[in-house]
Amino acid sequence: MEQGRVQVYTGNGKGKTTAALGLALRAVGRGFKVCMVQFIKGGGEYGEHEAARRLAPLLTIHQTGRDNWIFKDKLDPEDIRVAQEALVLARQALTSGDYDLVILDEINGAVWFGLLSVEDILDLMAARPASVELVLTGRSADPRVIETADLVTEMTEIKHYYQQGVPARIGIEK
């Protein structure tokens, strides 16, 4: 890729990670190497992890986070530590020269919760090699991230079956 860009998928609607994975699938189909680092997404395997194993070595996914709820007003130091480790992993993936596309899934949420700072994201954006596409997902993207990005898409929830008590389903949400 001659010139990479920075894309942000944010908003309260479903589909941010799914959009990023769609981009990953397209990139892998063209022979690009893709790395996704998932922030605050512990708690078991998602379908994309199995897909990544099948698409390896072109698609690599690193799941980080613990299997617990995070509360903005009661941050657990362990959640902060895990997010900081994921940030180091993200920087390595971004600057290694090994990947054409790097997806930092739920990194915006990690900032909103206070596990990372917005400066952490802005530093990653500044460190991005010109040939690497960088995708940042998660609700509540900071206005400075939105301003700095090349493409921003906001997913808006209109209606969601979760509100009627339908839990996350294997193969669809997990």
Full set of structural domains in the chain with CATH: 6-156 (3.40.50.300)
The pLDDT assigned to 52 comes to: 95
**pLDDT, tens only, 5-53:** 999 999 999 999 999 999 999 999 999 999 999 999 988 888 999 999 9
Question: How much of the chain, in percent, has pLDDT values that exceed 70?
Answer: 100
Q: How far apart are the first and last CA of the chain?
A: 31
Q: What is the pLDDT of residues 92-101, one digit of tens each?
A: 999 999 999 9
20 vs 150: CA distance, rounded Å: 15
pTM for the model stands at 0.94
